[in-house]
Amino acid sequence: MPLPVRRNKDDARFDPFSELRHLQDQLSSYLERWTGSPSLVEGTFTPLADVEETDDAWIAEIELPGIDKRDLEIEVSTNRLSVSGERHDKVRTGNVRRHTRTVGRFHFELTVPEAIDPDKVQADLEHGVLTVRIPKPADSTPRRIQVS
């Protein structure tokens, strides 16, 4: 089925994402009225991540391509890991034909069932993936008991 033809020269070019942006604006408006803050929808995104539990640690691998380690904020509290920062858009000189990369502030949070020792947490950023290793407390590591 062909798309309708616009006859008026003043009509804007058809943008299939305009309805989605309008819906996002409406949702943001509702959330702002309800919570007092629009940040639940716009301005902040959650990066993709994998979380793995091993016998001795929790390991979070967070995808952050294009992020410099100086732009990262990693905080550890009682049993929570929080990673935040900002991904900046490139300055472009040509016409942008497609823009699908997410830019702006990001926030990732992980809650683990036990207390975290902040001195033992290790973070490494390599090839756009931030790997955070949170060792489990020594007393929570499973131990095999031999039956005598």
41 Cβ neighbours under 8 A, 6+ residues apart: 24, 27, 28, 31
* Whether this model's pTM surpasses 0.95: no
Cα–Cα–Cα angle for 65, 66, 69, rounded to 5 degrees: 95
Q: Averaged over 41-62, what is the pLDDT? A: 86
pLDDT at site 128 = 93
- Asked whether the predicted pLDDT for residue 38 surpasses 50, the reply is no
pLDDT number for residue 129: 96
More confident residue, 148 or 81: 81
Give the span between the Cα atoms of 7 and 4, in whole angstroms: 9
